[in-house]
Amino acid sequence: MSAIDIKEPGGPEVLVPVTVPMPTIGPEEILIKNEAVGVNRPDVAQRTGHYPVPPDANPLPGLEIAGEVVAVGDKASDWKIGDKAMGLTHGGAYAEYTAVHHSHCLPWPNGYDAQMAAAIPENFYTVYYNVFMRSDLKVGEYFLVHGGSSGIGLAAIQLAKAKGAKVITTAGSTKKCQFCLDQGADKAINYKEEDWAEIAKDFTEGHGIDVVLDMVTGDYVQKEIDIMARDGRIALIAFLGSPKAEINFGPVLRDRLTISGSTLRPQTTGEKALIASNLQRDFSADMDASKIKPHIYKTFPLEQASDAHALMESSAHMGKIILTIG
């Protein structure tokens, strides 16, 4: 089958088309003939050599797919050949076919096409796990997410709004801020021109932020600590700024704050299965009704994965970048 591999660590040009054997499936896996593949920041990190591939993972890049089930393992009977599935992969998404654990897949929501379905697993599973399972965002709470125009940011805005939270986000331009507002954010702050921390706190009318989803880290963490409500929760998921920060832990103790961190890929098979099933339980009706749906910014054929990565690194996009197959 055709696939995209990483020739060596480096820029987008190291993504090269290759021919590799078809995947074989285990008893708990299904084989999906891919129609669309999501592009994510971890794919870029893997390409540059900053996101080591776990020993048991498929070394090809790519973490989310959507397509048709063409083979089913003996212990994956909840799926049948011909079903349309979207799945979180353990690598290997940049290919014509991918083997995926059956419990890490969900059916396409009503009205979704392949591109929209492929935009769900990595971003929406990540947001659901960190914002709801770990940070327990509740109805009426103030929620802050950075990078609201990104795939992760858009997923966070939509899920938090569907939950009934008050959503604040940051973005890097007036155009991106308007995009976030159009997608449901209650307040969007241009972090390049405004003091996002002061404006976010003012928006809460003195209450403070209850939950933060932070993919920047670095000096953002202290600013977040300073504007949190009592019992506030900060969820760290990436280090686009820096993995290091000097922090005053006084407010953490005084205000009973919780700082957590996670990435999706190292979670166990069972943990990923629980994330998928809980997301389906809590938000499938909103997806079926198109109250929650990803925004596809641009698509590229699989063989142009290098162009897709160049676009992602430019940060010019708003929403998801998708690779198409066939």
Same domain membership, residue 111 and residue 146: no
- Per residue in 121-180, pLDDT tens? 999 999 999 999 999 999 999 999 999 999 999 999 999 999 999 999 999 999 999 999
Same domain membership, residue 202 and residue 188: yes
Phi, psi of 187 (to 5 degrees): -150, 135
Same domain membership, residue 218 and residue 132: yes
> Which amino acid makes up residue 312?
M
Range of the domain at 228: 125-261
Same domain membership, residue 257 and residue 145: yes
- Per residue in 190-214, pLDDT tens? 999 999 999 999 999 999 999 999 9
Cα 57 to its chain centre, rounded Å, is 19
Given a cut of 90, whether residue 326 has pLDDT beyond it is: no
Q: What is the mean pLDDT of the chain?
A: 97
Q: Regarding beta strands 228-236 and 258-261, do their DSSP bridges make them parallel or antiparallel, or are they unpaired?
A: parallel
Mean pLDDT of 177-184: 98
Mean pLDDT of 219-237: 98
Same domain membership, residue 289 and residue 161: no
Distance between start and end Cα atoms, the chain:
12
Same domain membership, residue 215 and residue 113: no
Which helix (H) or strand (E) element contains residue 295?
Answer: none
Name the domain boundary from 261, 290, 313: 261
pLDDT for position 171: 97
Same domain membership, residue 216 and residue 149: yes
CATH code of the domain containing 233: 3.40.50.720
The radius of gyration of the chain from alpha carbons, rounded to an integer in Å, stands at: 19
Name the domain boundary from 219, 245, 261: 261
Domains: count for the chain: 2
Mean pLDDT of 57-85: 97
Confidence of residue 30 (pLDDT cuts 50, 70, 90): very high
Same domain membership, residue 194 and residue 285: no
pLDDT for position 230: 98
CATH code of the domain containing 64: 3.90.180.10
Given a cut of 90, whether residue 96 has pLDDT beyond it is: yes
pLDDT for position 52: 87
By the 10 Å C-beta count (0-12 exposed, 13-18 middle, 19+ buried), 89 is classed as: buried
- Per residue in 256-304, pLDDT tens? 999 999 999 999 999 999 999 999 999 999 999 999 999 999 999 999 9
Given a cut of 90, whether residue 232 has pLDDT beyond it is: yes
Contact 123, 149 (CB under 8 A): no
- The SS3 of residue 134 is helix
Name the domain boundary from 230, 261, 292: 261
pLDDT for position 227: 98
The Cα–Cα gap between 152 and 235 comes to 13
